Structure 1
Amino acid sequence: MQNTFPVHARHLHWQVLIAVAMGIVAGHFWPALSTACQPLSIAFIKAIRMLLAPLVFFHIVTGIGSIGQQRDLGSLLLKSLALFYLMTLLALISGWLTGTLTHPGANWHFQPSAHDADIIAGLSTPTGQRSFTAFALHLIPSGFVSAFTGHDLLPVLLLAVLTGVATARTQPDTAVLLPLMEACSQCFFRIFAFLTRFAPLAAFAAISFTVATQGWQIIGRFAYLILSFYLACGMFTVIVAGGLARLHGLRLMAILRYFRDEWLIIIGTSSSEPVLPALLEKLQKLGCKKEVAGLVLPMAYSFNLDGTAIYLTLASMFIAQACDITLSTGQILSLIGIMLVTSKGTAGVSGSGLVTLIATLSIVPDLPLPAVALLVGIDRFMSEARALTSTISNVVLCLVLSMHENACDRDMLARELQPFS
């Protein structure tokens, strides 16, 4: 696939950095104007969401269909899911260990009130509690078109795999089908390249609104918790994701530098969704075959949210400490087991971590659900780290799985990463 991203994207990280700095200043000195600008960031995220479903569909279909025969998809899916759950478990343990060592909720002596319960009731969703069976059935859309109208990529992923396998098996009898799919894929990538130009504007609007509405006072009060969370995310990225990369001959710093534009967009917009198309494009440029990268990365967006996993256990430890509750080893293990399920299937957008925490604690009697109200005001300041940590982990896993599947050109990979080492 030819690179469809324009030259301006090479300087996108500087544009986003400048926009973030301007957003902080504007939010502090002109809060009314910054609040009025919030719809710009919402519009950008909605525009990207509009493209994700068809883009992922056509990308996976052309990837699987172009190989002319069915790759062992069952083996690839099992390997991916096994690695996703292993990484999620390590992330949950990382958050728990950090909360245990740093004690971010010590000496708070918080007692939830009726007002706190009302706040959480307003944030709760009817779909928050769902069993594994309900989650599995949710993967099957009620109709072909309905899979593209929701925010969940998993039904789209299922349809894309089925269509891709069918396309591969009917080639070359339907030789016109695959070029048509490829043309549609290119078209959506070009639309995305155009929308990417507005990423700095969206970053400005999102950051300025956060500063204008939350201010710096709330950061001061919760600074220790926020720093503990950033520490946990940093240690997980360096030790777990970096260690996995090192075992496969990759340098984490080179990967971080190579995808720097995408990391800054995530920080600015507090969402990992806007960078999915760019990540797919760059992974192919690194030598990963489309049929593997195009399947693993979208699936990782729902099944490997390591940043959210760290947040869940650390926030739970914070709530327990703030409410003077001592959790036993059995209660902690039970909590981690439940979070292995509830952390799956959430979207990589701002606020999803808080909603997932509410869904988890609503079925765990050990911790008071209204105490989540403590985190409502500062959730936005941690959502960037959640999305960033998850995306870095997903990129590393995609590279590793491509290597295991012999679907990565090692020479191309080394050549592309060499300038960033």
Structure 2
Amino acid sequence: MNITTPNPSPKTKKSLSHSVLTNLTFWVLIAIIAGILLGHFSPENGVKMEFLGKKFIQLISLFIGPIIFLTIVLGISGMGNLKKVGRIGVKALAYFEVVSTVALAIGVAVAYIFKPGKIDKSGLTFGDASQYTKGASEHFSWLQFFLSNFTLQVLLAAIVCGIALNFYQKREQTILVLERFSKVVFTALKYVMYLAPIGAFGGMAYTIGKFGLATLIPLGKLMLCVYLTMALFVFLVLGSILRYYKISIFSILKYIKEELLLVLGTSSSEAALPSIMVKLERMGCSKSVVGLVIPTGYSFNLDGTSIYLSMSVLFIAQLYDVHLSFFEILTVIGILMITSKGAAGVTGSGFIVLASTLTALHKIPVEGLAFLLGVDKFMSEARAITNLIGNTVATIIISKTERDFTELNLNPVLEE
């Protein structure tokens, strides 16, 4: 018996077409492709589009402070249990340190095995890395890290205010006002996110127009190693952690695809911070866990950055034929466990952290950083995406271990 599938009715076709055209993911993807084409075929005009990407990130950044502050204050005051706040914080920091150390070790292992720095160096021109390494010889300062990290400052202020609010007599009225203001902020953010395709277009057009595609050929091995290592970390390490809790990494990636595309276009994981917090709450994570883990993770749980930093140190060593002993490799991991925590919130901070690490070793030429200038921009997308996925998984895991996860929300949301 032949079974025929009925053709979609004109109404259904129109509905599907409308769904695609109103999907933000679709437009962000189109914008990224358009940016690549403009940057490749008209580099001068592509470079001029840089302001679009920068302005969009600046616009999104305006929401980061208020959202972090409101989410944390409401989360802590809503708990009514300060012991739980401290427990979540300690648990999150312990998780961050373990997972980011695993990321560092994987980066070192892949770089040691595949030796991306052992390449033909003829015809390569080293750029001027002085603008990035200025001040890198200074010792890492936690005070400087705190003063230059706006997210961390807001996080600390919000924690203090959230705790204080628990002892305030008019606590309920204050919470009601903050909740109303929070709704206004998130509604405004919803409309700002419609500009995401413009930001993604500007960021991608500038990247391709500035550096071009041909310049990537000599450093293709390094880029391939970095991307493969980050994919290995996401699917093997983070995937295994999620699998323990019976959640598929592929379902999570599908759920946050809009944020991943936005990060891909803008090269900034901060651009997706507000919307990822909303999605994690919708998935079932409690507001208090999301409010504490995500902002903290943006400073202390940079898995993609950790992989990039560890691979870059070994890459430069291989570039200059500097042999590192097993003890020296362990020293690299140990130093990066501390300095990598300062690789957020500061322009060019990745190069400063690398230079600080190389200076501490007294063996690898700091000048080798110039070799990374041409491809650093292209690897920044992978770093930012891995950082975003890492913090998403961390929030789910902490929420699960706290038994503060609404299971009923999980499957319906992931199946959409």
Other-structure match for 2:85: 73
Whether 1:93 and 2:105 are equivalent positions in the alignment is yes
1:212-291 map, 5 Å: 212-291=209-288
In the alignment, the residues of structure 1 paired with residue 110 and residue 156 of structure 2 have an alpha-carbon distance, to the nearest angstrom, of 36
Corresponding position of 1:207:
204
> How big is the shift at 1:389?
0.7
Q: Distance in 2 between matches of 1:324 and 1:194?
A: 52
Which residue in 1 is equivalent to 2:157? 159
Q: Structure 1 residues 70-79 or 289-298, which shifts more? A: 70-79
- Note if contact 1:272-1:387 (Cα within 8 Å) is conserved in structure 2: yes
Cα deviation digits, residues 8-34 of structure 1 (max 9, x gap): 997111111101111111111222221
Aligned residue for 1:123, secondary structure, equals: helix
Q: Which among 116, 122, 139 is matched to residue 131 of structure 2?
A: 122
Confirm or deny: 8 A CA contact 1:69 1:169 kept in the other structure: no
Alignment correspondent of 2:114: 102
| Selected match of 1:64 from 76, 88, 95 | 76
Q: Which amino acid counterpart does residue 409 of structure 2 have in structure 1?
A: M
The Cα of 1:358 is off from its aligned counterpart by 2.6
Give the letter for the 2:361 counterpart: V
Change (3 A) 1:244 1:265: same
Aligned residues: 398
% same residue:
34
Report the secondary structure of 1:57's partner residue.
Answer: helix
Contact map agreement 1:61 1:161 (CA 8 A) in 2 = yes
CA distances 1:127-162 after superposition (whole Å, capped 9, x unpaired): 78444xx416854x6xxxxxxxx6531121111111
Q: 2:329 aligned to 327, 332, 349, which one?
A: 332
CA 1:9–1:391: 2 relative to 1, 3 Å:
farther
User: Does structure 1 residue 135 correspond to structure 2 residue 142?
Assistant: yes
CA deviation profile, 1:96-122 (whole Å, cap 9, x unmatched): 111112111114469999x75xx2221
Structure 2: gaps (5+ residues): 1-18
1:358 aligns with 2:355: yes
* Structure 2 equivalent of residue 48 of structure 1: 60
Deviation string for 1:251-275 (max 9, x for gaps)? 1000000111000000010000011
Q: Is the 8 A contact 1:89 1:340 kept in 2?
A: yes
Deviation of residue 414 (structure 1)? 3.0
TM-score by length of 1: 0.89
Asked if 1:27 is matched to 2:39, the reply is yes
Matched AA of 1:168: N
Confirm or deny: 8 A CA contact 2:305 2:343 kept in the other structure: no
C-alpha separation between the residues in 2 aligned to 1:136 and 1:123?
Answer: 20
1:276 is displaced (CA, Å) by: 0.7
Q: Where does structure 1 lack aligned partners over 5 or more consecutive residues?
A: 1-6, 142-149
Partner of 1:413, secondary structure, is helix
- Is contact 2:136-2:355 (8 Å) kept? no
Distance 1:256 1:399, change over 3 A: same
Q: Distance in 2 between matches of 1:320 and 1:272?
A: 29
Contact kept? 1:350, 1:383, Cα under 8 Å = no
- Deviation per residue, 1:35-60 (Å, 9 max, x gap): 22111111111112222112210111
More displaced 10-residue stretch of structure 1: 181-190 or 96-105: 181-190
One-letter code of the match for 2:32?
V
Which of 394, 397, 404 is residue 397 of structure 1 equivalent to? 394
Which moves more between the two structures, 280-289 or 348-357? 348-357
Q: Is this contact kept in 2: 1:273–1:349, CA < 8 A? A: no
Of 291, 306, 309, 2:306 maps to: 309
CA contact (8 A) 1:108 1:323 kept: no
Change (3 A) 1:34 1:169: same
Q: Distance in 2 between matches of 1:127 and 1:317?
A: 18
Please say which structure displays the higher CA radius of gyration: 2
CA contact (8 A) 1:311 1:353 kept: no
Measure the CA separation in 1 of the matches of 2:310 and 2:186.
37
- Paired position in structure 2 for 1:177: 174
- Asked if 1:406 corresponds to 2:389, the answer is no
Instruction: Confirm or deny: 8 A CA contact 1:301 1:394 kept in the other structure.
Output: yes
Q: Partner amino acid for 1:416? A: V
What code does the residue aligned with 1:186 have?
A: K
**Secondary structure at 1:153 match in 2:** helix
Cα distance in 2 between the residues matched to 1:9 and 1:69: 46
Distance 2:347 2:384 in 1: 8
Q: Bigger CA drift: 186-195 or 245-254? A: 186-195
TM-score of the superposed pair, with normalisation by structure 2: 0.90
In 2, Cα distance between equivalents of 1:180 and 1:8 = 38
**1:264-315 Cα shifts (integer Å, max 9, x gaps):** 0000100000111111101110111101111111100100101010001111
Code of the aligned partner of 2:266: T
Aligned residue for 1:302, secondary structure, equals: helix
Q: 358-367 or 303-312, which moves further after superposition? A: 358-367
Secondary structure of the residue that 2:58 maps to in structure 1? helix
